[in-house]
Amino acid sequence: MKNFRKVVLCLIVIMMGIFSAKCRDPVLHRVGGGRYTWAPNINFKDWSSHEQFFVGDWLYFGFDKHLYNVLEVNKTSYEKCIDEGFLKNITRGGRDVFNLTEARPYYFLSGRGYCFKGMKVEILVRDYQAPPAVPIVVHKTSAADIYRNNIQLVLIATALVWTFLFKYI
């Protein structure tokens, strides 16, 4: 019984920590918006302008690996479609993912001349900022309101205590 109480108390503390943390789940962004949309003649600038990218999110590139590739490049190479001296080759099997680990701009393009056909995308990654907390509005309360609220708390606490007592006795 003593250990059970410790376990319950620990679980309550852990759950409070989880629910009070200001975080978000990572998002998988399908580059171009579809399953196999790393391809020519897609407006990647328009697509990326409608997305929000945060540190920890993932990019999914779906493509034919025999025709296209995915290279991370610097800004100059991105602007001039230079596929030599790239930072990283993301290409593995045509269904490749890339983790956005830093708040900064990322630049990707496809080599083999496809960059000139529009196969390039700029991703601006930001740190996640939790939305501001909702302000607490304080209302004037009367003594009767305080008494009523205290009675409700006492009744709830009593019900919880009785529930635990009858369950474990």
Which residues lie below 8 Å from residue 41, measured CB to CB, with a gap of 6+?
117, 118
Q: Which range, of 33-42, 108-117, 134-143, 153-162, averages the lowest pLDDT?
A: 134-143
Q: Say whether pTM exceeds 0.85.
A: no
Residue 9 has pLDDT above 50, yes or no: no
Q: What are 75's two structure tokens?
A: 């800004």
pLDDT class of 155 with cuts at 50, 70, 90:
low
Please provide the average confidence, as pLDDT, over all residues in the chain: 81
Give the count of beta carbons closer than 10 Å to the beta carbon of residue 70: 25
Which residues lie below 8 Å from residue 114, measured CB to CB, with a gap of 6+?
40, 67, 68
Q: Which amino acid is at 44?
A: F
Q: Which range, of 11-15, 56-60, 121-125, 160-164, averages the lowest pLDDT?
A: 11-15
